[in-house]
Structure 1
Amino acid sequence: MLDTVLDVLGRTFQDVAHSLAANWPFLLISVIVASAIPVYIGAERLSSWLRRKTLYAVLGAILLATLTPFCSCGTTAVVLGALASQVPWAPVVTFMVASPLTSPEELVLSMGLFGADFALTFFVAAIVIGLFAGLVTWLIEKTGWLDGQARLTSTEAEKKAEESCCSSDETEGDEAGGGVSAAGGGGGLARTALLNRPIAPAPAPVEVSLVKRWKLDEFGNELMITSKRLALYFLGFATLGFLLINSIPTSVLTDFLGEGSIFAVPVAALIGIPVYLNSDGSLPLVATLMQGGMSPGAALAFLMTGAGTSVGAISGMLLIARWRVVALVVGILFTGAVVLGYSAPIWL
């Protein structure tokens, strides 16, 4: 028994080391991309992209969703900013559907873990289902079914967006030395003193260092946080995945999630809803499960429903919208996951 446990642990360690050696360049690029975009773009500027006509707002939401590696909290801040400007539901739902699915960080990491064909399939599918979500929401919104589904008024949404845990906006301090007003009427001495008060010299111009100008300190801090998070999730979930592969008989995976099972795709889509945590951890986990017999279609279905309906994503949706919008998002994601899972193996 002890020999079996040691053998499983030894093979797991070797598999994790091999995976890390093969994917460290992709991890490095992912860390840099994930750290640079929030620092040099920011949620407030990106949220303004949604303040357009519906068609342009949907296209802007797709671009915004696929180019930003924001966490669920950052995604919530962007959508709250959109609601504060009274954006229609179509671009908001588009962003809520597509944003958790993919990002530059995830695309690069997926290419290292699954190969270019799988990664590009999921990336393109995220864009297509986002556009589909925008179209469906636009048609439903015209019927009035989504009226009153925003949980926050525009003022409350704007306040929440400013208080978001991923927001890094700096508040400007009040100007020092507020004016002193003399009482109306008399007071010659007071008026003379006021007119003859000494004028403070203008402050000398402050030279902005290169570090501050290019936000290198913020980028360095974000780089450290992101690298620790990504390394922790990658190593942790890769170890878990290889441990499961080395412990569970391959027949279990092939029977339920393999290419031979007709129910593999919907089962994987259902499992993805409660099991998925985040892309940094779930991508290595799914990669190791595929090595153990999980079909590509089931893997795509798991990733799509899991990413869009994770704990963070659902929490953000419930903060923003009521049950009709949440049900619409979940229904679109599940339908898209099943369609993608059954159709993608044709060309993969």
Structure 2
Amino acid sequence: MTDHSLPQPGPLAAAWQHLWRKERPWVAFLVILLGVSVVDPGQFGPSVAKVANALVSIAPFLAVSILIAAWAGATGADNLIAKAFTGAPAMMIVMGALAGGLSPFCSCGVIPLIAALLAIGVPLAPVMAFWLASPLMDPSMFVLTAGVLGLEFAIAKTLIALGMGVLGGTVVHLIIRAGGLSDPLREGVGNGGCGGTKVRAPKPPVWAFWQDPARVSKFRTEGAKTFLFLLKWLSLAFLLESLMLAYLPAELVTQTLGGTGLAPIAIATVVGVPAYFNGYAALPLIATLMDQGMQAGAGMAFLIAGGVTSLPAAIAVWALVKLRVFALYIAISLGGAFAMGMLFHLWTQV
């Protein structure tokens, strides 16, 4: 029964609530620009110019990533994911990591599929492999990473995403063999919702999607959705990048995250968890920090730790599995991020 005695939000307040829920990056972008115009008017023009120039410079990579996402949605290529979870445990773990690292899923979009996999009885080890690798890399992310941080960094991050998946899946498999982690799902978790059908009854992809008007329409819809998603997050990222360049002393970055020891990588791993807000938006920020003196291993550790434990992904894990599984997920994420950051740092020094 509705309590009509409670005050209802007016049209303006309701519009603001809707805007904040749906378009937080744009709201943050406008609020930050407004703050800059009030506090430091001289920085307003350079920041806007930085955003515009950066978007133009990355436009070719942005276009390719949008086409990849639209193509995957129109053809139904995501249905191939179900084939990764059949076979021997070792093969399932490897295939789960490959599917997670190479499939066009974002950290939020993959959650219904993961819920379905767990609910229909797919072993936790390959699901964990998929879960850890999926937020770190996908075809669109690879293209943008190569454009912002270079091809070597993009290839290394792809290999690290696969390594993280295999590491996590192997650890979980060994624990299960020792008698732990039985019944991982929380009470009340259902069959995974809309993601369940992709696992139980996968449909073959339709590669010649242009022959089907409905799939052509989906191609346009997915392309527009991906474009708007990337535009708002990258605009916010480039704005923050301009402010970092203006106000963050390069000497401070060099002192904190430079050098060759373990401390910068450990700091970046820990800081990456609360500071990370979107995989795409983090790329230009890391590029700026690296230009100012952050070592490559620390940058990689930041991207890995933040990508796997980003707030949407972590909340989804918490909602689906029991506390001991969630704790293991966090431990593997942070430990793996530190180890992979260290390995990448050693590689860059060779």
Kindly provide the CA deviation profile for residues 260-290 of structure 1, in whole angstroms up to 9, marking residues without a partner as x.
Answer: 6652111111111112122121122222222
The alignment partner of 1:157 has SS state of coil
Q: Which amino acid aligns with 2:141?
A: E
Give the structure 2 partner of residue 161 of structure 1: 193
Cα separation, 2, equivalents of 1:130 and 1:210: 34
Give the structure 1 partner of residue 9 of structure 2: none
State the TM-score, normalized to the length of structure 2. Answer: 0.79
Give the structure 1 partner of residue 177 of structure 2: 142
Give the structure 2 partner of residue 221 of structure 1: 221
Residue 157 of structure 1 and its aligned partner are, at CA, apart by: 3.3
Give the structure 2 partner of residue 37 of structure 1: 72
What are the residue-to-residue correspondences of 1:94-243 with 2, within 5 Å?
Answer: 94-151=129-186, 156-158=189-191, 160-162=192-194, 212-213=212-213, 215-243=215-243
Residue identity over aligned pairs, in percent, reads 29
Structure number with greater Rg is 1
More helix by share: 2
What are the residue-to-residue correspondences of 1:1-348 with 2, within 5 Å?
Answer: 5-41=40-76, 45-151=80-186, 156-158=189-191, 160-162=192-194, 212-213=212-213, 215-259=215-259, 262-348=262-348
Give the 3 Å change call, closer, same or farther, for CA 343–60 of structure 1 in structure 2. Answer: closer
The Cα RMSD (Å) is 2.9
The alignment partner of 1:146 has SS state of coil
Residue 303 of structure 1 and its aligned partner are, at CA, apart by: 0.4
Q: Which amino acid aligns with 1:323?
A: L
Asked whether the 8 Å contact 2:74–2:216 carries over to 1, the reply is: no
State the TM-score, normalized to the length of structure 1. Answer: 0.79
Asked whether the 8 Å contact 1:50–1:60 carries over to 2, the reply is: yes
Give the structure 1 partner of residue 13 of structure 2: none
Give the 3 Å change call, closer, same or farther, for CA 210–132 of structure 1 in structure 2. Answer: closer
Asked whether the 8 Å contact 1:47–1:81 carries over to 2, the reply is: no
Residue 27 of structure 1 and its aligned partner are, at CA, apart by: 0.9
Aligned length: 305
Cα separation, 1, equivalents of 2:281 and 2:297: 19
Residue 81 of structure 1 and its aligned partner are, at CA, apart by: 2.0
Asked whether the 8 Å contact 2:276–2:307 carries over to 1, the reply is: yes
Q: Which amino acid aligns with 2:170?
A: L
